[in-house]
Structure 1
């Protein structure tokens, strides 16, 4: 089965608390990484604080402290954004034939289904 959400896609968070209550629902961002097909890291969404131990690098500079990084979110909690309407939409697959060097090949192509209203 082809993946519905891939690295570089624009997605919107569809579950969780609204932004006015400190959550991420409704935020849109680009997918930075897909982890084992189940979780995605979205740019600007689901920030957590990561505490790193103080150490020294090769040049003698001190490292460590508190960093703010994006944490993974489950793939079912995001929806692909339709490029034409900028609203979340469902993903469909279309079977097309490509001809390359005289050889026909059947491929599955992703496309955004029509988004009539918000999901």
Structure 2
């Protein structure tokens, strides 16, 4: 089970954007990277072209670049501070069948599993 998922609120813990928080837009599992909303902007030069309607496209665009997963930490929803993620097994009953499910939770500092 992944520590960071799409939609999580994360904080950058190292690099030029250190201390900034944002929501995860996309997780690139193969590359161990995440794209965070509003963080790590890069400029991209796009070649000028035309659409079928005749409008011009291209120019200089800015968009978010990936950040390595080790440089971000999940934010605890209660304290709004970066924290580590733990997993616990909970019994969920669905249609009369009990099943063990691993559930993510934000650990407090110093807390053990």
Q: TM-score range by the shorter chain?
A: over 0.9
Structure 1 residue runs of 4 or more that deviate by more than 6 Å after TM superposition: none
Aligned partner of residue 70 in structure 2, secondary structure? helix
Cα contact 1:49–1:66 (8 A) shared by 2: yes
TM-score (normalised: structure 1)? 0.88
Question: Among residues 31, 41, 45, which one is paired with 2:35 in the alignment?
Answer: 41
The total of aligned residue pairs comes to 109
Q: Which runs of 5+ in 2 are unaligned?
A: none
Cα distance, 1:58 vs structure 2: 1.4
Match of 1:10 in 2: 9
Q: Which runs of 5+ in 1 are unaligned?
A: 17-22
Cα contact 1:88–1:115 (8 A) shared by 2: no
Deviations 1:37-58 (Å, cap 9, x if unpaired)?
Answer: 5110001110000111100111
TM-score (normalised: structure 2)? 0.93
